[in-house]
Amino acid sequence: MMHSEELIRYETYQETAEWLLSRTKHRPKVAIICGSGLGTLAEALANQETFKYTDIPNFPQSTVQGHAGQLIFGELKGKTCVCMQGRFHMFEGYPLAKVTFPVRVFRLLGVEVLIVTNAAGSIADGYNTGDIMIIKDHINIPGFAGQHPLCGPNDERFGSRFPCLSDAYDRSLGKLALDISREIDHSDCIHEGVYCMVGGPSFETIAEARLLHKLGADAVGMSTVPEVTVARHCGLRVFGLSLITNKVTKEYDCNEAVDHEAVLSIGKMRARVVEGLVTELVARMELNMGC
């Protein structure tokens, strides 16, 4: 298996971007990564053009149930978008350079804003299954151990050696999303909080859940942070949200257990709310000039 710091040459990203640009009329400004059970977001696009990951040069392949494995180009509320139906994870055996490969391709396509969605378990006491958390910050547990997508040689054509991540999630987009949630009468189930990434694929032990709670995490999952890190490195604005699909157990006398089927089920149940929030956010966001 390759290491996370393995270098992918700039020309490889360029080859993939040029292949896509030569086969679609769309020139996306917004990219959306759909998390587990949230692939219906892509179905809202008009004038769709679809490319299977298996057909795209250099693209990784998604191996997880609930991830369709295709790029869909189209228009959403007058803005040209590209959606990933299926993302890549460390636990699939991919190095982080491959996990984040699409993000740099999006940058070369002309994308300005990355929207990331995921399914997550709640650590915070006040969250319920089916709630939505707008991500205001993250904790990168694999990064603490050196599993970081920016390890290795830095290509200045994408970004600086030491990027700042104190503004990882665009505050103006987060505020706009909260305003929209109030307008669509879902403010009671929409929160703002901190997402924590763990490596997976096993769900957290009770001791681990208690530790993450003490660290300040509100929700935990196995994705998103690498893509966000690379997006900020190459200058994209980022908006992220987590669909809370389960409560993470923090007590030893609790008999509840989570499984992936339950995660997908909650995703389907709340998909329309997520779709409505993201659609309205895309409609109202300003490009090239901040929100």
pLDDT, tens digit, 9 for 90 and up, residues 22-73: 999 999 999 999 987 777 888 889 999 999 999 999 999 877 765 579 999 9
What does the pLDDT read at residue 43?
A: 86
Structural element, H or E, at residue 197:
strand 190-197
Q: Would the pLDDT of 187 be above 90?
A: no
For residue 189, give every residue at least 6 positions away whose Cβ sits within 8 Å of its Cβ, in sequence order, or none: 128, 130, 131, 132, 273
Specify if 162 maps to a domain: yes
**Does 38 reside within a domain?**
yes
**291: confidence class by pLDDT, cuts 50, 70, 90:** very low
Q: 3-state DSSP call for residue 43?
A: helix
In the predicted structure, residue 260 carries a pLDDT above the cut 70: no
> In the structure encoding, which two tokens stand for residue 65, read together?
């149930």
Q: Sorting pLDDT into bands at 50, 70 and 90, what band is 259? A: low
Residues 6+ apart with CB under 8 A from 55: none
Domain span at 275: 10-284
Task: Look at residue 93 and tell me if it is in a domain.
Answer: yes
Residue 50 near residue 22 (C-beta atoms within 8 A): no
Mean pLDDT of 176-201: 93
User: Residue 8 carries which DSSP code?
Assistant: P
Q: Over range 164-181, report the average pLDDT.
A: 96
| pLDDT one-digit tens code per residue, 225-240 | 999 999 999 999 999 9
**Least trusted range by pLDDT, from 58-67, 105-114, 152-161, 241-250:** 58-67
Q: Using CA atoms in the order 134, 137, 143, 145, what is the torsion angle rounded to 10 degrees?
A: -110
Q: Is residue 134, in this structure, part of any structural domain at all?
A: yes
Percent of the chain with pLDDT over 90: 77
The pLDDT score that the predictor gives to residue 183 is: 92
Query: Before 201, cis peptide (omega within 30)?
Result: yes
Say what the pLDDT of residue 37 is.
72
Does residue 2 form part of some domain?
Answer: no
Q: Considering the chain, what is the average pLDDT of its residues?
A: 91
Q: Quote the number of domains for the chain.
A: 1
- Which pairing describes strands 30-34 and 237-247: parallel, antiparallel, or unpaired? unpaired
Chain center to CA of 45: 18
1 found inside a domain: no
- pLDDT band at 1; cut points 50, 70, 90: very low
> Do the domain assignments include residue 20?
yes
> What mean pLDDT comes out for the span 201-212?
95
Confidence of residue 267 (pLDDT cuts 50, 70, 90): low
Confidence of residue 6 (pLDDT cuts 50, 70, 90): low
**Taking Cα atoms as reference points, which of 274, 278, 213, 217 lies closest to residue 243?**
274
Model pTM greater than 0.75? yes
Largest CA distance in the chain: 58
Residue 3 falls inside a structural domain:
no
Q: Are 119 and 175 in contact (CB under 8 A)?
A: no
What pLDDT digit, counting tens, does each position of 83-137 carry? 999 899 999 999 999 999 999 999 999 999 999 999 999 999 999 999 999 999 9
pLDDT at 272: 83
First-to-last C-alpha distance (Å) of the chain: 41
Domain CATH number, residue 226:
3.40.50.1580
CB neighbour burial string for 45-65, b if at least 16 within 10 angstroms, e if fewer = beeeebbebeebeebbebebe
